[in-house]
């Protein structure tokens, strides 16, 4: 299953060249990930972004579709596709590591988290 989310492009997301700043794509992914699951205590260990097409306007909504592509012992991988009016503009992959809120250190994915993650597991 995939999760769909809308992210608003603010005018201040545009840089001096007049397109959405590259770093902002990770913010869109982060906000979609939080909407998808604020329940899992995690940190991002890795992120890679493919910029496919620029976005030259603000005051619009982008579609962010995300899914889990791998689940390990204490980490899981996610894929995000960001689309502007149906056009794929970016593909992002990230690795999240589950952490203990008390120790702030890596910990195993618990059964409830694994069950939740498995619902969104899609092989690529």
pLDDT tops 90 at residue 123: no
For the segment 52-72, what is each residue's pLDDT rounded down to a tens digit? 999 999 999 999 999 999 999
pLDDT > 90? residue 39 = no
pTM: 0.93
Per residue in 109-122, pLDDT (tens digit) is: 999 999 999 999 99
Look at residue 38 in the predicted model and tell me its pLDDT.
Answer: 75
Domains of the chain: residue spans and CATH = 3-119 (3.10.129.10)
- List 95's β-bridge partners, or say none: 46, 77
Buried b (16+ CB within 10 A) or exposed e, 95-107: bbbbbeeeeeeee
What is the C-alpha to C-alpha distance for residues 81 and 66, in angstroms, rounded to an integer?
6
């Amino acid at each position: 299953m995939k999760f769909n989310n809308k992210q608003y492009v603010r005018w201040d997301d545009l840089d001096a060249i007049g397109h959405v700043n590259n770093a902002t794509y990770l913010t869109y992914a982060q906000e979609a990930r939080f909407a998808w699951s604020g329940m899992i205590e995690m940190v991002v260990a890795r992120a890679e972004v493919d910029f496919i097409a620029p976005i030259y306007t603000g005051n619009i909504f982008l579609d962010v579709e995300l899914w889990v592509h791998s689940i390990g012992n204490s980490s899981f991988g996610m894929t995000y596709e960001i689309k502007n009016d149906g056009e794929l503009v970016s593909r992002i992959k990230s690795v999240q590591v589950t952490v203990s809120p008390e120790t702030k250190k890596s910990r195993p994915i618990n059964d409830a988290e694994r069950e939740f993650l498995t619902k969104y597991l899609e092989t690529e």
